[in-house]
Structure 1
Amino acid sequence: MSARRQFVKPSTPPNSEINVTPLVDVVLVLLIIFMVLTPLLEKDIEVRIPETEEVPPPPDDTPDTQLIVKLDPAGAYTINTEPVTEADYVTKLKRMLGAKKKEDRIVFFVADDKANYGKLVAAFDGAKQAGAFVLGMATEDIPAAAAATGAPGEVPPVPPAPPAPPTP
């Protein structure tokens, strides 16, 4: 017995066009949802911000004998606003550090962005040779007012913050 294959021929050819009706339905539903939600999102929330009070800056505990070494772009050293040559740098620093206890032998360095890195490393090495116990790197320059008064390490008072704008 041989099985005979029968093929059923569709009465209409397949439709290859995109049916946009469901797409339009979904888009319209999303449009309605966003139209309803948008006014709800625009409502303001009342927030009470506490009043700010001016807090005095903490007292400056930096001693007057603090050592700050500056390195300018030209490679010149300055110890506490006093220019020093490279040859005298280690001896002068050794003399200044010799009068201090070992724990108080702290030297801060302020280097210009354009300063030679090799000169900065040489300044670090010279400070260690002079007997510095702790080396520190300052990220900001000493304020001009402290340098003008001649008091090493003295920081001018911080100006008060501007008043906060009134809240409606």
Structure 2
Amino acid sequence: MSTKRKFVKAATPPNSDINVTPLVDVVLVLLIIFMVVTPLLEKDIEVRIPETEDVPMEQMPQDNNQLIVKLDSDGTYSINTEPVQKDEYVNKLKRMLAAKPNKEDRIVFFVADDKANYGLLVAAFDGAKQAGAFVLGMATEDIPAAPAGVPGAPVDPGAAPAPTPAP
């Protein structure tokens, strides 16, 4: 017997078009994910940056009574290059600020080492406010040291100028 093969014909011809429905579903899901995540990424901290102006070095007044608190990487405080114990910091700063009669003159600048503990720096800020500081300023560059043993000695005129406080 001879067997003859029979082929079944498809009822519809083959479809070569792309099915767009799954593509639209995926795109809509991604759109919803991005709409939900985008507001979470926009968390900014507002910082007031003081306006600066160039003042020639000859015109800058030299204030020998500036209070500069320095925090070293090992956690030691210094007021005008004089090391201070942590428990004496607020009392000593309070005495130095009390010597200034005008409230507006009670300005304290802070210089922190790059490796200093952030918590100790915040504690120094809080201590200065407790001591009666009116304005707190943060120096971004290291302030040149005065000669040893002379707190508040004049700074070398060729050195960088002292920072100006932010309002």
TM-score range, shorter chain: 0.5 to 0.7
Structure 1 pair 151–96 and aligned structure 2 pair: CA distance change class (3 A): closer
Residue 128 in structure 1 maps to residue 137 in structure 2 = no
AA aligned to 1:140 is E
Q: Deviations over 1:140-162 (max 9, x none)?
A: 11214x34483527331228xxx
RMSD of aligned Cα (Å): 2.0
The structure where helix makes up a greater share of residues is: 1
Give 1:58 deviation, angstroms. 2.0
TM-score (norm 1): 0.56
Residue 139 in structure 1 maps to residue 136 in structure 2 = no
Q: Check whether the contact 1:94–1:130 (CA below 8 A) recurs between aligned residues.
A: yes
Q: Check whether the contact 2:94–2:132 (CA below 8 A) recurs between aligned residues.
A: yes
Q: Check whether the contact 1:69–1:78 (CA below 8 A) recurs between aligned residues.
A: yes
Counting only pairs closer than 5 Å after superposition, residues 1-168 of structure 1 correspond to structure 2 as 57-100=57-100, 101-144=102-145, 146-148=146-148, 150=150, 152=152, 154-158=154-158
**CA distance in structure 2 between the partners assigned to 1:98 and 1:57 by the alignment:** 30
Q: Check whether the contact 2:82–2:149 (CA below 8 A) recurs between aligned residues.
A: no
**CA distance in structure 1 between the partners assigned to 2:106 and 2:121 by the alignment:** 19
**CA distance in structure 1 between the partners assigned to 2:93 and 2:154 by the alignment:** 19
Q: Which runs of 4+ in 1 moved over 6 A?
A: none
% identical aligned pairs? 70
Equivalent residue pairs, number: 103
Q: Check whether the contact 1:90–1:129 (CA below 8 A) recurs between aligned residues.
A: yes
Structure 1 pair 83–97 and aligned structure 2 pair: CA distance change class (3 A): same
- CA radius of gyration, larger in: 1
Give 1:86 deviation, angstroms. 0.5
**CA distance in structure 2 between the partners assigned to 1:60 and 1:104 by the alignment:** 17
Q: Check whether the contact 1:71–1:78 (CA below 8 A) recurs between aligned residues.
A: yes
Q: Deviations over 1:2-42 (max 9, x none)?
A: xxxxxxxxxxxxxxxxxxxxxxxxxxxxxxxxxxxxxxxxx
Specify the alignment match of 2:48 in structure 1.
Answer: none
Q: Which runs of 5+ in 1 are unaligned?
A: 1-55, 160-168
Q: Which runs of 5+ in 2 are unaligned?
A: 1-55, 160-167
